[in-house]
Amino acid sequence: MSGFVFGEKPIQIESGEGPYVYDDDENEYLDMGASYACAPVGHCHPDVVEAVESQASDLLFVQGSYPTETRTALYDRLGDLAPGELDNVWLCNSGTEANEAALKFARHATGREKVVAAKRAFHGRTLGALAATWKQKYREGFAVPEHVEFVDYGDSDALAEAVDDETAAVILEPIQGEGGVHPAPEGYLQAARDACDETGAALVFDEIQTGLGRTGSLWACEQAGVVPDALTVAKGLGSGLPIGATLVADWLAEDSGDHGSTFSGGPVPCAAALATLDVLEDDLAANAASVGDYLQEQLAELPVRDVRGDGLMIGVEVKRGANRALRALAMNHGILALPAGRTVVRLLPPLTVTESHADRVVDALAEEL
């Protein structure tokens, strides 16, 4: 018997601490991808581990129809941290489910079907989120529903033209991640806000990769000064325990239909999320901004095609294929990073990294490129 979906890498990781993971021979790797951005406060942060252990010994799970102190605390916490008035919180288990819920709520509240999304977008792999995901490779053979109109990311006029009074939702990443690390041009997110205001469509920001301080503020949309009607978050929220959230405005929450999930708001992932938020709020967004700027400046000196991103969400467009560079980083320098398409090396490290970690990555890339 074997798993069959992931192509596994030839390094067996057995433990982690801070920005490092360790293989079965106790070799150390600097995890500059934070394991798909799921370790924003570092691996096995002691406060998170303690919160999980303590919650697990009290109560592993209870059905969602009974409140628990931990879940209620997380509702309150996320509601307080949400941009604008997005203090209605739906908890789920992954990023794709958070987007799925946002799109369902938008359809129910508007009574409309159409969704507008961007070319190169990645929103997840369940059928609703997949329908708003651009890359053919992910869609092929899955009979993906066809209610989504795709527009060029960054083209405000094309977006305004596509959004009409049949549009339930516009879904956008404030910085496209999987699609190659492309930040929204200035004014683009506001143009999306305007188009939704004019037509009554719901604006959904997918902050699953950009959120939780990664771009230098808690939410990337804050930097653009634009508040959506729904914001989705997942990945690092539970420091690796599966939890996602959809934060929505009153008008979506009031008419959201019958949505649910067995594992929504389980006490252990909620405890992990509360502890993660405690650590994150200790100025890690500011660290992401300053170390991110430093890292981008150094990377721009290398022989690369482009360096893009914000804070500690950085794409380095290399000349000879991302996979070659990633393999060399891992095997020759003990540094793990991620691809974003064929030519982009993506850095999404824990927000705790320092300038000396940044130097190590720059030196390694300088040698390999």
Query: Which residue ranges make up the site for ligand PLP (CB under 6 A)?
Result: 94-96, 99, 122-124, 173, 177-178, 206, 208-209, 234
Q: Which residue has the tokens 């030196």?
A: 363
Identity of residue 278? D
CB of 213 to ligand PLP, least distance (A): 15
Q: How far apart are CA 2 and CA 316, in angstroms?
A: 34
Report the number of secondary-structure helices (H) and strands (E) in the chain.
14, 17
In the beta sheet, which residues pair with residue 89? Answer: 247
Helix axes of 267-280 and 69-81: crossing angle, nearest 10 degrees: 40
CB of 340 to ligand PLP, least distance (A): 10
Q: Of 208 and 330, which CB lies nearer to ligand PLP in the complex structure? A: 208
Q: Of 70 and 94, which CB lies nearer to ligand PLP in the complex structure? A: 94
CB of 221 to ligand PLP, least distance (A): 13
CB of 247 to ligand PLP, least distance (A): 15
The two three-digit tokens of residue 270, written as one number: 């909620």
Q: Of 38 and 295, which CB lies nearer to ligand PLP in the complex structure? A: 38
CB of 206 to ligand PLP, least distance (A): 5
Q: Of 244 and 292, which CB lies nearer to ligand PLP in the complex structure? A: 244
CB of 284 to ligand PLP, least distance (A): 19
Q: Which residue has the tokens 């967004």?
A: 285
Q: 183, 184, 186, 231: which is closest to 205 by C-alpha?
A: 231
Q: How far apart are CA 169 and CA 113, in angstroms?
A: 8
Q: Of 103 and 364, which CB lies nearer to ligand PLP in the complex structure? A: 103
Q: How far apart are CA 127 and CA 90, in angstroms?
A: 19
Q: Of 135 and 147, which CB lies nearer to ligand PLP in the complex structure? A: 135
Cα(first)–Cα(last) distance of the chain, in Å?
Answer: 39
Q: How far apart are CA 149 and CA 49, in angstroms?
A: 43
CB of 292 to ligand PLP, least distance (A): 18
Which residue has the CB atom at the shortest distance from ligand PLP? 95
Q: Of 220 and 362, which CB lies nearer to ligand PLP in the complex structure? A: 220
In the chain the beta strands, taken as DSSP E runs, fall at 13-17, 20-23, 28-31, 88-92, 114-118, 148-151, 167-172, 175-176, 182-183, 202-206, 230-233, 244-248, 306-310, 313-317, 335-336, 338-339, 344-347
CB of 198 to ligand PLP, least distance (A): 26
CA-only gyration radius of the chain, Å = 20
DSSP labels, 312-362: TEEEEE-SS-HHHHHHHHHHHH-EE-EESSSSEEEE---TT--HHHHHHHH
Q: Of 234 and 312, which CB lies nearer to ligand PLP in the complex structure? A: 234
CB of 119 to ligand PLP, least distance (A): 14
Q: Of 203 and 234, which CB lies nearer to ligand PLP in the complex structure? A: 234
